A and B are shown apart, each in its own frame.
Chain A
């Protein structure tokens, strides 16, 4: 009904290449942004900010970072959380050691640090493909985890293994209240997501997808394999690094290697698989799903079973349901939930005459 292209004529390629070629999409995006920036803060309380919204946004950003590498460029990685930890630890070091520079610059620098590490661990991708590469990225996971627990300089020789982060300051204001942390996160995530969307629809994105879909053909039409793969690792790690810094500063409030272990890497991978490989939207849908599912399970299990069973049993039951649901979603839509959304859009466009 409302979702029609009819009557929207494009007279230039510029118009056809716009980020939202269809007016309704643009409106929809505007409404979402309006809700995120104005609507949610009006109705939300502190618990939602801190426990749900902020981690959701950061996970979405991390999933987006991994999606650039795995979904767009086709390089399977099991070490996403390691690059997040590089970002987190760099940000902590930049901000505590150089407190005079604004935190935004520090964040960008830590993203770049993560990108450099990402490029280093991306070098094997030139020779190794598929699952071999995936397992090789575990080397990054374990090696970086080891660095941040054994090389004292990075964590200022703190023996506890978890160091608290100083508050972020912007123009003299301390961003410590839940709502300011929410706004900080939301702004950074929205800007980065928009930039990613642009990159992925320009020649970089096409380079990545070409390498993913058929690497020999990509090389034959002149896409340099070395540069493209390393760029994918760099951009992806940059995003992951920023996500890691946010995770430490606006969500956890401390930096610890344990927050970025292999299970975090796997969770991020789940997000993109469940949400949709090679889509920006899917990263966020997946993040919402993987993040909210355990919370939802926890609440509903307590509500339904309450005191009938032990706490121990609830934990175990959650694990089972979580695993089961992941398999279930993979079976009903192996291309991820973003694909479902796309199908819905195509259906609405045709409705009520689907032929």
Chain B
């Protein structure tokens, strides 16, 4: 039983890591309807920048600040170069543009910082601790707490601040938001900045797990099932989706994997999410669109 609990908890905490990537996604989707394929690459870019600063001998916090500045600049550039010329285009075009962006960023990050694998130490021990008789990784707990703090912050930002209200208005209807004087472009820059910060957190946590390397950009593929399970527009959905996907993926791999030859963690989350979708076509917490004619 305690083995089951261990697997479950490890899965839940891995799920938190997926949620971190999914969160950045949800933010951008909520505010602009853009499915941002480059979110994973942004995490890679952020982590790579941070590691390179640290390796130059820069203080941890200064490096973090510099990385944040880079992400802000990136948000401005993306809005100016990619989003603004593509206003009012079909969403699939914007989606494609973000794939183009992810190619570009991937190349750019490696051109700038080199393509070797970097080690990233956040100074948190990965030694397991025992809670009762269940073994849990300290690092996973740290990641869970960070994610919880971030979600709380974002939830506050969305529901209680003026900017958050403007954001929700933009998400609902671009034109109507424009017509009452909400500066659409600033909002877009803002969400990309926030998504960039989320990417820093995700990139650092994932980077210290896997090493900062090219494969980091592929975590986006882990975030997709989380997104469809939770609903593209929902922050709680990203969290709950992450937990469900993380835990069931680990359980399936441990208990089901040996019977079918292993390697099922690549497709299992998708199948699970698909099964959920058949019951709830807009995800667990997604907005149900009533179609009027």
Residues on A with beta carbons closer than 8 Å to the beta carbon of B101: 323, 327
Known contacts A124-B277, A124-B278, A319-B104; is A132 also within 8 Å of B293 by CB? no
- B199-229 CB mask vs A (1 if < 8 Å, else 0) is 0000000000000000000000100110110
Closest B residue to A71 by CB, please name it: B92
Complex interface: chain A residues within 8 A of B96 (CB): 269-270, 273, 326, 330
Asked if residues B107 and A266 are in contact (CB atoms below 8 Å), the reply is: no
Majority secondary structure, A binding face: helix
CB distance from A173 to the nearest CB of B (A): 40
B186 to chain A, nearest CB (A): 21
The docked-state distance in angstroms from the alpha carbon of A324 to that of B91 is: 19
Instruction: Answer whether residue B260 sits at the interface, using C-beta atoms and an 8 A cutoff.
Output: yes
Is A12's CB within 8 Å of the partner chain B? Answer: no
Say which size band chain B's interface belongs to: 35 or more
B-contacting residues, A308-331, CB 8 Å:
312-313, 316-327, 330-331
Asked if residues A139 and B273 are in contact (CB atoms below 8 Å), the reply is yes
List CB contacts (< 8 Å) of B256-293 with chain A: 260-264, 266-267, 270-271, 273-274, 277-278, 281-283, 286, 291, 293
State the CA gap A325–B276 with chains docked (Å): 38
> How distant is the Cα of A129 from the Cα of B228 in the complex, in angstroms?
11
Q: How large is the interface on A (under 10, 10 to 19, 20 to 34, 35 or more residues)?
A: 35 or more
One of B86, B232, B263, B281 near A149 (C-beta < 8 A): B263
Does B115 sit within 8 A of A, measured CB to CB?
yes
User: Which residues of chain A are within 8 angstroms of B158 by Cβ–Cβ distance?
Assistant: none
Please state if A320 and B267 are interface contacts (CB–CB under 8 Å): no
B97 at the interface (CB under 8 A from A): yes
Q: What residues of A have a CB within 8 angstroms of the CB of B85 in the complex?
A: 331
A207 contacts the other chain (Cβ, under 8 Å)?
no
B53 within 8 A of A: no
B117 to chain A, nearest CB (A): 14
Is A256's beta carbon under 8 Å from chain B? no
Residue of B nearest to A139 (CB): B270
* A192-220 residues at the B interface, CB under 8 angstroms: 216-217, 220
Taking a contact as CB atoms under 8 Å apart, the answer to whether B232 and A324 are in contact is: no
Other-chain residue from A70, A142, A326 in contact with B270 (beta carbon distance below 8 A): A142
How far is the CB of A210 from the nearest CB of chain B, in Å? Answer: 14
Mask for A111-144, Cβ within 8 A of B = 1, else 0? Answer: 0000000000000100111111011101100110
Q: For residues 143 through 184 of chain B, which have their beta carbon under 8 Å from a beta carbon of chain A? A: none
Chain B residues within an 8 Å CB radius of A324 = 100, 104
Judging by beta carbons under 8 Å apart, are B270 and A316 in contact?
no
Q: Roughly how many angstroms separate A127 CA and B291 CA in the complex, as a whole number?
A: 13
Partner of A318 from B35, B107, B227, B260 at Cβ < 8 Å: B107
Q: Which of B82, B86, B101, B224 has the most CB of A within 10 A?
A: B224
Q: Across the two chains, which residue of chain A brings its CB closest to B81? A: A327
Chain B residue with the shortest CB-CB distance to A127: B281
Does B106 touch A at the CB level, under 8 Å? yes
Residue pair A128, B281 in contact (C-beta under 8 Å): yes
B225: chain A residues within 8 A (beta carbon)? 135, 138
Contact B99 A270 (CB under 8 A): yes
What is the CA–CA distance of A269 and B96 in the complex, to the nearest angstrom? 8
Closest to B277 in A: A128
**13 A-B contacts, Cβ less than 8 Å apart?**
A124-B274, A124-B277, A124-B278, A131-B35, A132-B228, A135-B270, A142-B267, A216-B293, A319-B104, A320-B107, A322-B107, A323-B106, A327-B81
The 5 lowest CB-CB distance pairs between A and B, nearest first, are A323-B103, A323-B104, A319-B107, A320-B107, A326-B100
